[in-house]
Every structure is written in structure tokens, then in C-alpha cells.
Amino acid sequence: MYKMQANLNLFLLLIIVACFSSSVQCQVISSSICTKYVVNGLDCGCQLKNNGNVAGIVSLFSLANNDHKPRFHDTYNKGAEGISYSPCYNFTEPGTPTKGSCKDVAACQTLKSPSQYVPIGLPSPVTYQVNTQKNVQFVYKHLYEQKLRTFTLTLVCNKTATKPVFEALANNGANYFAELSTICACPNGCPSGPGGLSGGSVLLIIFFVLLSVYFIGGIIFMKYVRNAEGFEAIPNVSFWSSLPSLIKEGFAFTFSRCSGGGSDSSYDKI
Ligand SMILES: *[C@@H]1O[C@H](CO)[C@@H](O)[C@H](O)[C@H]1NC(C)=O
Ligand SMILES: *[C@@H]1O[C@H](CO)[C@@H](O)[C@H](O)[C@H]1NC(C)=O
């Protein structure tokens, strides 16, 4: 009986640690490849893998708009050259297409005066990659007037950037660059499909459902089968009273992993 109780406690502790570790996503992306992750035919996300295991999805699905207008409009760098960009859906700029405008594109270079539009990225196919700073990059291409242009968007994971910040950078010939700082650049930071929840939220919901089943079922069992009274009816009461210190250790473990304190940190050590 004691043995079974101890195993149950260990199991609960593991669930708690797993839930907190997965909802507190590490900002550091350890994978060096990100493979295309298409939802509803939309080419705007990729899946990070770590030793063959899915480490998270980076998707701009929740930032997309489907009104044929650029999501990020004429964002200028220091000079007079700007970039408009939309993830997932194409846009046309200016609204009434003229000759030499950007039609059905994902990215468009805009020049102020005289105003001019140069298509620099088709919505699909997108090449997904991870740069040496471990940022996911979406690379778009466009063949325009016999010249191949590329647009590289670097996604910067910022957990507090719930409002995305798009910044056009200087171009290098026909290669254009921009940075997008957003929580959606963090693995599982945003939903990757319609009505989808991020992986962390799903785990948290499962956790709370399991927790309620455990407590309600446990209390009924202790009360009616074991005839326990008062606090004694709480299942595993000794475990729960020691929980605060266990949670502290769980967090210490999670954050020691996230702060990049080295690959030698293991659960056994604490
Ligand atoms: C542009 O988007 C519209 C609707 O969002 C779609 O019907 C059309 O096929 C797209 N065009 C291209 C070139 O992707
Ligand atoms: C993250 O985003 C927040 C809110 O937009 C901003 O204030 C902060 O400076 C950003 N952090 C970094 C490291 O860029």
C-alpha cells in the first residue's frame, strides 16, 4: 500500500513538472531545422524538431489577415525604402493594381517618391530555416522583370511582444530583409491553426481536468470507502502538504534548463 502511494506521488509530481516545463517555453530554440507546417493550405508555419521529437511549432497563422491588404504596411527603415508584408495570405498594393504594382504577393518593397512598388516575395512556397542566432527565418522569393528577389523575414521570439513589431532592414541588392518581434516567434507561442490552442494551453487544460478528477474522485473514495473525515478525506494529504517545496524544485529545474545553464542539468541532480 505504501509503495503504491509513493508511486502515485511520483506520478503526480512528474505531471506537474511536465506541465510547467512545457507551458513555460524556453526562448532558446535548440533545433537547427524547421520543417514546413501547412494548415488549411496556408504556408506560414514550421515545426522545430529536436533529435526527431517535435519541439514546437512557430506559426504566424494568428497574425494573418485575409482582406488582401498588407498586415504590416509600408514599414520604412531609415531611408525612403519600405517593406509591406503579410503572412499566410497574399495582398495587392496599391489597392488598385497598376502596371508595376505588387499583385497577390506576400512581400512588397515600396519606394516613397516617386512611389513605386516592387514585388519581392510570393506567398508560397516559403523556405523555412533557423539562423545561427537560433531565430526561425521565413524566406520568400519572387521572379520579377527577369530578376530573382528574395525576402528574408527573421522571427524574433519575445514573450512579452503580444503586439507584433515589424521592422524593415536595409536591403542588399535583390535580397531584402526584415525582422518581426512577436510571441508567435516562440515555439508554440501562438495557435498554429483555426480554433487551435497553443500546445502549452492544451497541456494546462489537461492538467487541470486530471487534477479535478483526482481530487473529486479521491475525496469520494476516502469519504465513502475509507470513511475518512475532514482533512483526512483529501487524497494523499501528506503529499499535498509538501507540495510547495516540490513546486519550488520543479521551477528551479525548469528555469535552470531555460537559462541555458548548460546541458548537464538533469532532473536527477535536484
Ligand atoms: C490570393 O489570395 C486569394 C484569396 O485570399 C486566393 O484566392 C488566390 O488564389 C491567391 N493568389 C495567389 C497567387 O496566391
Ligand atoms: C519585447 O517586447 C516588448 C513589448 O513590445 C518590448 O518592450 C521589449 O523591449 C522587447 N524585448 C526585447 C528584448 O526586444
> pTM (2 decimals)?
0.69
* pLDDT given at position 266: 40
> Where does ligand 1 bind, in terms of residues with CB under 6 Å?
66, 89-90, 104, 123
Specify burial of residue 93 (Cβ count, 10 A radius: 0-12, 13-18, 19+).
Answer: buried
H/E segment holding residue 9: helix 2-23
3-state SS class at 40:
coil
Please give the C-alpha separations between residue 96 and each of 13, 66, 74, 78, 128, in angstroms, as whole numbers.
Answer: 60, 17, 16, 27, 31
- Are 160 and 183 in contact, with CB atoms under 8 Å apart? yes
| 111 touches ligand 2 (CB under 6 Å) | no
The Å distance, Cα 104 to ligand 1 centre, comes to 6
Write down the pLDDT at residue 179.
96
Peptide bond into 125 cis (omega under 30): yes
Ligand 2 centroid to 65 CA: how many Å? 23
Going by pLDDT thresholds of 50, 70 and 90, the confidence category of residue 7 is low
What tens digit of pLDDT does each residue of 36-48 get?
A: 999 989 999 999 9
For residue 64, the ligand closest to its alpha carbon is: 1
What does the domain layout of the chain look like in residue ranges? 34-185, 197-262+265-269
Distance CA 151, CA 171 (A): 9
Q: Which atom of ligand 2 is nearest to the CA of 165?
A: 5
70-83 CB burial, b ≥16 within 10 A, e <16: bbbbbbeeeeebbb
Q: What does the pLDDT read at residue 261?
A: 41
Superfamily of segment(s) 34-185: Mannose-6-phosphate receptor binding domain (2.70.130.10)
